[in-house]
Amino acid sequence: MIKWLKDTGQEVETNENPANIERAEELGWERVDATPVDARGLPWCESINTRNRSRDSNGNWKYKSGVEPEEAHQIEEDLLAQMDNG
């Protein structure tokens, strides 16, 4: 089974039939078992990003309510550094 995240934030499962995979991708669903990234190439981070993995109009992860921009930017810099060293 493959888990997908719909644009509504709901998780759904499909079997591995190529037609089902193609349809899910056509609908813009993201694979949950793959590491999703935003428009900047940053992975979703539970500590700063919204639980439903929503994105802003630029395609970047939205921040949780109460997360200070400076804190978010520092965590994002750390994520980028980890990816570069990865």
Q: What is the pLDDT of residues 10-37, one digit of tens each?
A: 888 888 788 988 999 899 998 886 677 8
Q: How far apart, in whole angstroms, are the C-alpha atoms of residue 60 and residue 49?
A: 10
Contacts of residue 80, Cβ cutoff 8 Å, sequence gap at least 6: 42
Q: Does the pTM of the predicted model rise above 0.75? A: no
Q: What are the E-state strand segments in 21-61?
A: 30-31
Instruction: Name the domain count of the chain.
Output: 2
Q: Is the domain of 1 the same as that of 13?
A: yes
Angle at 21 (CA atoms; ends 17, 25), nearest 5 degrees: 170
60, 49: one domain: yes
45 and 86 belong to one structural domain: yes
Identify whether residues 28 and 67 lie together within a single domain: no
Q: Do 29 and 7 belong together in one domain?
A: yes
Do 24 and 62 belong together in one domain?
A: no
Q: Which of 25-29, 50-54, 82-86 has the lowest mean pLDDT?
A: 82-86
The residue type found at 46 is: E
Check whether residue 12 and residue 42 sit in a common domain.
no
Give the rounded percent of residues in the chain with a pLDDT score beyond 90.
41
Question: Which residues lie closer than 8 Å to 5 by C-beta, 6 or more apart?
Answer: 11, 29, 30, 31, 32, 36, 53
What sign for the dihedral angle of Cα 46, 59, 32, 50?
A: positive
Provide mean pLDDT across the span 31-57: 87
Range of the domain at 21: 1-34
